[in-house]
Amino acid sequence: MKYIDEFNDPELAKRLLDDIHATVTRPWAIMEVCGGQTHSIIRNGIDQLIPEQIEMIHGPGCPVCVTPLELIDKALAIAARPDVIFCSFGDMLRVPGSGRDLFRIKSEGGDVRVVYSPLDALKIARENPDREVVFFGIGFETTAPPNAMTVYQAERLGVPNFSMLVSHVRVPPAIEAIMQSPTCRVQAFLAAGHVCSVMGTSEYPSLVERFSVPIVVTGFEPLDILEGIRRTVHQLEDGTALLDNAYPRAAPPEGNPAARRLLADVFEVTDRGWRGIGVIPDSGWRLSAKYRRFDAEYRFQVGDISTEESSVCRSGEVLQGFIKPHECSAFGTVCTPRNPLGATMVSSEGACAAYYLYRRLGGAPTPDGRQVVSSIG
């Protein structure tokens, strides 16, 4: 890839769309796993440009959104301690816990700092040896390697006052859980290309074979997504189910071997709770026994915190693809980006945030009256 414009070409987009329209003969439901793909689809109006028979189901691939409420409350409890400097990426600060968020903790005097890398938090720990410094480590397989490297460096450099509150989740077990649901309508998946750039594609063939669903590894630019949909539709119409890598420029089959070795050293697979979904077996990582002393949950003894989700917020149903964001009665009324009930409204990758940001932009109606918002080209 030389230029990003190559993946926003309107003429190429039209050719891909023409092929998709010419191929589809009946309804299909395709889930894009990643929240970044969801935002690209909505921002570029792709779901409005493809045939009506194709339904794009928005999956649970937003790491902020699926971080369980009880872990947010654990983060809040740790961040409120006077001896702690709590470090996080900015997108976590407004995610609501049971009664407040990290911004509220900061306004009440807590030392909460936004960092751009986990290594920034490690640097803060080395500069403040008399304070406990905690980094909030969340994300899918894409953010796990830098977090693992930071813990590795903390051990190597001997930084005893650094720890990490870990909430890493893994994509393949989530796909398996979705397919095992008795209410599942998903017939194919667009897999997240950046996850495969780290982990490779070796975990997907067994899912394809077991559930007879096409899985197409896809990027994030408009043409990436259209090509992923095109390949998926051809498989569905042909009655085939294969793993297809449509993102080879960034996602080789083997992934990143060095990153995978580091992950295997620093982390171990564990069951993980997903906000609004529940516990998915083997769907997460935690620090391995070798690095357990850097685990903030153990260090600060917050493992017994339990919570209840809001009865009004339906973000769990959104994350599982049961409903679209606008089908929630709270959407855009009592739940807005300024006053979110759930993380899906405040996260930069949340489906509710995408609908709020882009669905309210006017567009020229199609002959059937649908509003199209497209930035392709």
DSSP 193-240: HHHHHHH-STTSHHHHHHHT--EEEE-SSHHHHHHHHHHHHHHHHHT-
- The confidence score (pLDDT) of residue 359 equals 64
Neighbours of 249 (CB within 10 A): 11
Out of 243-252, 321-330, 359-368, give the one with best mean pLDDT. 243-252
Which residues have a Cβ under 8 Å from the Cβ of 256 and sit 6 or more positions away? 145, 197, 198, 200
Using the predicted structure, report yes or no on whether residue 274 has a pLDDT greater than 80: yes
Neighbours of 181 (CB within 10 A): 13
- The confidence score (pLDDT) of residue 370 equals 42
- The confidence score (pLDDT) of residue 376 equals 53
Using the predicted structure, report yes or no on whether residue 255 has a pLDDT greater than 70: yes
Mean per-residue pLDDT, 312-334 = 86
DSSP state of 366: P
DSSP state of 339: S
Mean per-residue pLDDT, 64-90 = 93
Per DSSP, the residues of 34-68 read EHHHHHHHHHTTHHHHS-TTEEEEEEEE-HHHHS-
Contact between residue 89 and residue 115 where contact means Cβ atoms under 8 Å apart: yes
Using the predicted structure, report yes or no on whether residue 2 has a pLDDT greater than 90: no
Mean per-residue pLDDT, 355-376 = 50
pTM of the model: 0.87
- The confidence score (pLDDT) of residue 113 equals 98
List, for residues 291-321, the tens digit of each pLDDT value.
999 999 999 998 777 676 667 888 888 888 8
Burial label, 180 (beta-carbon count in 10 A; 0-12, 13-18, 19+): exposed
Mean per-residue pLDDT, 220-239 = 97
The rounded mean pLDDT for the chain is 90
Mean per-residue pLDDT, 243-267 = 96
Using the predicted structure, report yes or no on whether residue 338 has a pLDDT greater than 90: no
Mean per-residue pLDDT, 357-362 = 56
Which residues have a Cβ under 8 Å from the Cβ of 120 and sit 6 or more positions away? 87
- The confidence score (pLDDT) of residue 97 equals 87
Whole-number percent of the chain with pLDDT over 70: 92
Mean per-residue pLDDT, 342-347 = 83
Band of the pLDDT at 5, cuts 50, 70, 90?
Answer: low
Per DSSP, the residues of 67-117 read S-HHHHHHHHHHHTSTTEEEEE-GGGTT---SS--HHHHHHTT-EEEE-SS
Q: Which of 217-221, 252-256, 313-317, 328-332 has the lowest mean pLDDT?
A: 313-317
Which residues have a Cβ under 8 Å from the Cβ of 192 and sit 6 or more positions away? 33, 34, 36, 37, 61, 140, 142, 171, 217, 218
Mean per-residue pLDDT, 14-35 = 96
More confidently predicted of 152 and 308: 152
